[in-house]
Amino acid sequence: GLFVAMIILGGRVELAKQSVDAAAYEAARAASIERTQSEAIAAGRSSAASSLNDQDVNCTSTNITVNAAAFDAPIGNTGQVNVTVTCTVNLSDLSIPGLPGTRTITATASSPVDVYRERR
């Protein structure tokens, strides 16, 4: 019983980590191809939320931070979009004594902004 629950716990946490990593990567990429900072932030948040939803990650709380300050740089300057996705996963249904009922998973990803692409 307890051994099986621990295996399920480990699998669920690992799958959630992979999903949060993928969501951060997809969000950074989606944000980096936009033309304005506000569009990049909106696209990054939307992409991360959709990715977590598509992968059936059951977050009790989610925080998505998009740093798109690179869009303020003049054309010809390098920059990147950074996205951090934090998801608190509910584990209370496993009822393992001594373990917390949630686990917070955080992933950060970056994607370069095209140096010569027009920005508005």
At 58-94, the pLDDT tens digits run 899 999 999 999 988 888 888 999 999 999 998 877 7
C-alpha to C-alpha distances, 21 to 15, 26, 32, 37, 75, nearest whole angstrom: 10, 9, 17, 22, 30
Percent of the chain surpassing pLDDT 90: 62
At 12-36, the pLDDT tens digits run 889 999 999 999 999 999 999 999 9
Does the pLDDT at position 42 exceed 70? Answer: yes
Does the pLDDT at position 96 exceed 80? Answer: no
pLDDT of residue 49: 97
pLDDT of residue 95: 66
- pTM, two decimals, is 0.88
pLDDT band at 99 (very low <50, low <70, confident <90, very high): confident
pLDDT band at 118 (very low <50, low <70, confident <90, very high): low
Dist CA 66 CA 87 (whole Å): 15
Dist CA 65 CA 70 (whole Å): 15
Report which of 43, 9, 13, 6 is spatially closest to residue 28, judged by C-alpha positions: 43
Query: Where do the domains of the chain lie?
Result: 2-112
